[in-house]
């Protein structure tokens, strides 16, 4: 019987390459040993949910198209910029940056488009994930966002 629940184990989600070719999006859980903290990792990740303000759906979609186009063309420090929507109209975004400086650059590049985005949405939850500086952590917390520092991490 596996040693589930021991401090050195962690469930890790991964997508099998064969499933990717089937385009199923299925996720499996695999038990992995997790023994090394990611203290040297500089990645900054944002995960947040939001609702679109009444009558602003079309405007939001144009803003998101512009944000993604600008990010793809001018922002190599942004590794992931994914937008999702569920059946009740809640949206979520997942963003991954090389480091804090890349996030600052993204805000600078996105500029007015990002300002327009904030005008058409209402943020519900906002999580900051990463080994960020104390100053950045303080700024995120002051804005009302939850900050999580990495403990264990497994990526391929």
Show the domains of the chain with their CATH numbers.
Answer: 1-35 (no CATH), 44-148 (3.30.70.100)
Closest CA to 93 of 51, 32, 53: 51
Band (pLDDT 50/70/90 cuts) for residue 91 is very high
> Residue 155: is its pLDDT beyond 80?
no
Query: By the 8 A CB rule, do 120 and 50 touch?
Result: no
Q: How high is the mean pLDDT of the chain?
A: 80
Q: Which segments of the chain does DSSP mark as H helices, in order?
A: 17-22, 57-74, 100-120, 134-142
> Residue 16: is its pLDDT beyond 60?
no
Band (pLDDT 50/70/90 cuts) for residue 154 is confident
């Amino acid at each position: 019987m596996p040693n589930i629940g021991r401090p050195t184990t962690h469930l890790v989600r991964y997508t099998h390459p064969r499933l990717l070719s089937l385009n199923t999006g299925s996720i499996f859980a695999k038990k992995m040993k997790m023994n090394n903290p990611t203290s040297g990792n500089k990645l900054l990740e944002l995960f947040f949910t939001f609702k679109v303000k009444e009558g602003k759906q079309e405007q939001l979609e144009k803003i998101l198209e512009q944000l993604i186009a600008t990010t793809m063309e001018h922002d190599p420090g942004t590794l992931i910029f994914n937008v999702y929507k569920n059946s009740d109209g809640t949206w979520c975004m997942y963003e991954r940056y090389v480091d804090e400086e890349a996030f600052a650059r993204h805000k600078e590049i996105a500029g007015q488009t990002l300002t327009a985005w904030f005008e058409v949405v209402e943020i519900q939850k906002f999580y900051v994930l990463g080994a960020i500086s104390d100053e950045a952590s303080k700024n995120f917390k002051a804005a009302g966002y939850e900050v999580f520092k990495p403990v264990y991490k497994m990526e391929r």
